[in-house]
A and B are shown apart, each in its own frame.
Chain A
Amino acid sequence: MKKPLKIVTSNTLALTNFATAFALLLVGGFLGLVQGLNRAGVLEIVGGINYYEVLTLHGILLILAFTTLFMNGYLWSAVDYVLGGLTKGIRMLGWVAYGLFMFGSILVVIMVLAGEATVLYTFYAPMAASPWFYIGLVFVVLNIWLSGIGVFISAFRWKRRNKGAHLPLFAFFAVGVYVLITFSTMFVAAEVFYIIPWAFGWIDTINVMLTRTLFWAFGHTLVNVWYLVAVSAWYMVLPKVIGGKLFSDSLARAVVILIVVLNVPGGFHHQIVDPGFSEGLKFMHLFMSLAIAVPSLLTAFALFATLERTGRRRGGKGLLGWFWKLPWYDVRFLAIMLAMISFIFGGAGGIAQTNNQLNQVVHNTLWVVGHFHVTVGVAVVLTFFGLVYWLIPHLSGRVLTKKIHNLGIWQTMFWTVGMLFMTLSMSYVGLLGSPRRTEYTTYGGSETALAWDPYLLFVGAGGTLLMVGIVLIVYIVFHLMFLAPKGYTEFMVVEEQEEDAHKTPKWTENWGLWVIVAILIISMGYVVPLVDLIGNAPPGSPPIRTF
Chain B
Amino acid sequence: MKQFRYGLTLVIFLALPPARDLLESVMAFHMHMQMMLLFVAGLLMAPFFQKHFGHIFGKYNETGLPGVVLFLIILLYWMLPRAMDEALELWYVELWKFISLPFLAGVPLRDSWKKISRTFEVVLFLVLMVIFAVLAYLYIFAESTLCNNYLMIDQQTVGWGFAFLVLCIIMYILLVLFTDQSQYFGDDSESA
Q: Which A residues are closer than 8 A to B by beta carbons?
A: 1, 163-166, 169, 246, 249, 278, 280-281, 283-284, 494-497, 502-507, 509-510, 512-513, 515-516, 519-520, 523-524, 527-528, 531-532, 535-536
Contact = CB atoms under 8 A, between A and B. Distances in A.
A527 B164 contact: yes
Interface of B: 22, 25-26, 28-29, 32-33, 153, 156-157, 160-161, 164-165, 167-168, 171-172, 175, 179, 181, 183-192
A528 B157 contact: yes
Contact of B28 (A513, A516, A528, A536): A528
Contacts of A509: 183-184
Contact of A535 (B153, B172, B187, B188): B153
Interface of B, helix, strand, loop or mixed by DSSP: helix
B184 A520 contact: no
13 contacts: A1-B190, A278-B25, A281-B26, A497-B192, A503-B191, A519-B164, A519-B168, A523-B161, A528-B161, A531-B157, A532-B153, A535-B156, A536-B153
In order of increasing CB-CB distance, the 3 nearest A-B pairs are A523-B164, A503-B188, A166-B191
A176 to B, nearest CB: 15
A335 to B, nearest CB: 24
Given A1-B192, A516-B171, A519-B167, A527 B185 contact: no
A535 B158 CA distance: 13
Given A528-B26, A532-B157, A519 B188 contact: no
B78 to A, nearest CB: 18
A504 B175 CA distance: 22
Contacts of A531: 153, 156-157, 160
A1 B171 contact: no
Given A166-B191, A509-B184, A527-B160, 20 more contacts: A164-B189, A169-B191, A280-B25, A280-B29, A502-B188, A504-B188, A506-B189, A507-B184, A512-B171, A516-B175, A519-B171, A520-B168, A524-B33, A524-B161, A527-B157, A528-B28, A531-B153, A531-B156, A532-B153, A535-B153
A280 B26 contact: yes
B192 A527 contact: no
A324 to B, nearest CB: 28
A250 to B, nearest CB: 8
A187 to B, nearest CB: 15
A249 B189 CA distance: 11
Contacts of B153: 531-532, 535-536
A488 to B, nearest CB: 23
A527 B33 CA distance: 13
Contact of A506 (B164, B168, B186, B192): B186
Contacts, number: 98
Contacts of A528: 26, 28-29, 157, 161
B160 A507 contact: no
A531 B181 CA distance: 35
Contacts of B192: 1, 169, 246, 249, 494-497
A527 B156 CA distance: 10
B186 to A, nearest CB: 5
A536 B164 CA distance: 20
Contacts of A278: 25-26
A1 B192 CA distance: 6
Contacts of A504: 188-191
Given A512-B175, A535-B153, A503 B190 contact: yes
A513 B167 CA distance: 13
Given A164-B183, A531-B153, A516 B188 contact: no
B161 A527 contact: yes
A532 B155 CA distance: 11
Contacts of B33: 284, 524
A495 B152 CA distance: 57
A120 to B, nearest CB: 31
Contacts of B156: 531, 535
A506 to B, nearest CB: 5
A510 B26 contact: no
B122 to A, nearest CB: 15
A358 to B, nearest CB: 20
Contacts of A536: 153
B139 to A, nearest CB: 11
Contact of B164 (A502, A505, A507, A520): A520
Q: Which of B22, B157, B191 has the most CB of A within 10 A?
A: B191
A494 B191 CA distance: 12
A217 to B, nearest CB: 15
A166 B189 contact: yes
Contact of B168 (A280, A502, A516): A516
B68 to A, nearest CB: 22
A349 to B, nearest CB: 27
A164 B164 CA distance: 32
A520 B183 contact: no
Nearest to A535: B153
Nearest to A497: B192
Contacts of B186: 506
A209 to B, nearest CB: 14
Given A506-B185, A523-B161, A516 B29 contact: no
Nearest to B21: A280
Contact of A524 (B22, B32, B175, B183): B32
